[in-house]
A = this chain, B = another copy of it.
Amino acid sequence: MAATLPKMKDVAELAGVSIKTVSRVLNNEPHVQHAVRERVQDAVSSLGYVPSKSARSLRGSRSYSINMICHSDRSNYINAIQFGAVMACQKRGYQLTISLVDTFEDKSVAEVKAAFERITTHPKPDGMLLVAPLANNPIVGQALEELGMRVVRIGPAGVTDNDMRVAIDERQAAFEMTEHLLDLGHTRIGFVRGKENQAATEERFLGYKAALLARGISMDSKWVRKGQFKFRSGVAAAEKLFELDQPVTAIFASNDDMAAGVMMVANRQGIKVPEDLSIVGFDDSEIAENMWPMLTTVRQPLQQFGEVAALKLIESLGQPVSPDTAPTILPHQMVIRKSASKPRSAAT
């Protein structure tokens, strides 16, 4: 281990220039001759010099850290994203810091701002990663805007979507999953909604509805149950769905946890999956492989969400953000496992 880390002064001496010139090279500022720039870069790499983030951020500009908010209701969803974000940060010499906030339900802009003010100082992160559903909280959005924070959001947008954002086309994905069931021969397909007031809930539902419509099947509102994106709500929804006079032959739960709940009730009631009932989910979270039969679902590239979002954020720093950037839509993927098959009626 070197006795002391090399400083900019050392680089300057080795390259035979002033420290300011070194600073210019490191920050890609103009007005440095090509030859000088190269000499400095050689000196930097031969000394293994890394600029001190503390000094840089003290001086007022960047902090070389970005912050990811995690709310108290942590889930696998966020974890995978965080993993990707750390990877991207590490590649670019940034640090990912984690902060914790409450859900900000029924909070005023001023309160939210105060909370973020504490988080966003010392060092003030250069930007923030906001994950759905927090990403779509208008109060949080306004507070952060007033604080001048650069933000990249992750997850489906509500109505507006002219912000920096990374997501999949949830509606299309739900459409395809419903089509999959339809292709298998199902015509009576149940649907378990997610938590209300989350963009994903409506998007996925709209995809389901559109797919039925496209095949000329008129949706029966009895097929649709509310849910909370939680295992328990899948259980509750399944119990109701199984009581129908004319039961559905397939259930599309709008996330995997709820699908697991549905599956559990089926197992408990002796309903054979997939022979008597097809079940599909959404997310491809870990639980999808930890049930029997393994769950057919839609994979969201969560880790990639984090990676792409962090990169997008880092690259946007410095540039002014255009008022209407389009969201980055990443490809989703159908994951066909064993929980959905032809309905019994069609099998004959």
Asked whether A1 and B82 contact (CB < 8 A) given A97-B95, A260-B290, the answer is: no
Asked whether any CB of chain B lies closer than 8 Å to the CB of A108, the reply is no
| Cβ of A18 to closest chain B Cβ, rounded Å | 21
CA distance in complex: A74, B100 (Å): 19
Residues of B within 8 A of A292 (CB): 264, 267-268
Q: Contact check: which of B58, B72, B82 meets A58 at CB < 8 Å?
A: B58
Residues of B within 8 A of A86 (CB): 70, 98-100
Are B95 and A100 interface neighbours, CB within 8 A? no
Binary interface profile of A, 109-120, with partner B (CB < 8 Å = 1, else 0)?
000010001110
Are A289 and B99 interface neighbours, CB within 8 A? no
Closest residue on chain B to residue A80 by CB atoms = B74
CA distance in complex: A83, B100 (Å): 8
Are B264 and A113 interface neighbours, CB within 8 A? no
| Cβ of A304 to closest chain B Cβ, rounded Å | 15
Asked whether A290 and B70 contact (CB < 8 A) given A50-B122, A100-B83, the answer is: no
Q: Could you tell me which residues of chain A, from 271 to 290, have a CB within 8 Å of some CB in chain B?
A: 287, 289-290
Would you mind naming 5 contact pairs between A and B with Cβ atoms under 8 Å apart?
Answer: A52-B58, A65-B95, A79-B79, A95-B97, A287-B287
5 closest Cβ pairs, A-B complex = A54-B58, A53-B122, A54-B57, A231-B290, A264-B292
